[in-house]
Amino acid sequence: KLTAEIFAQKIQEHWLIENQVHWVKDVIFNEDKSRIKNKEVAGKFSLLVTLILNVYRSCGFIYIKDGQSWLGQNWEKMLLVDGFDGS
């Protein structure tokens, strides 16, 4: 049975996802302004953006802009992992 408490909890869960994923994808990556017409390509691009968000978060960045800023300043360090250092 759906109680008012369970209903309210589901609404909160929905908005948590909206604020943590969809809002960030739109504001930071301008996903809603995408000009990709092919739905399959758009879906794959959205999946790639989600993957990037998860990488930033798993690296400890709470704010995606901080992660982007760090990567912009330290991109060479990202290439110095096994297999990418030319050895």
Query: Per-residue pLDDT for 81 more than 70?
Result: no
What is the DSSP-derived secondary structure letter of residue 28? H
Structural domain spans, the chain: 4-79
Digit-coded pLDDT (tens) for 1-42: 889 999 999 998 888 877 778 888 888 888 888 899 999 999
Q: Which pLDDT belongs to residue 5? A: 93
d(CA 75, CA 83): 16
Digit-coded pLDDT (tens) for 41-75: 999 999 999 998 888 888 899 888 998 999 888 87
Burial (CB count <10 Å: 0-12, 13-18, 19+), residue 26: middle
Q: Which helix (H) or strand (E) holds 47?
A: helix 39-58
pTM: 0.63
Structure tokens at 1: 């049975």
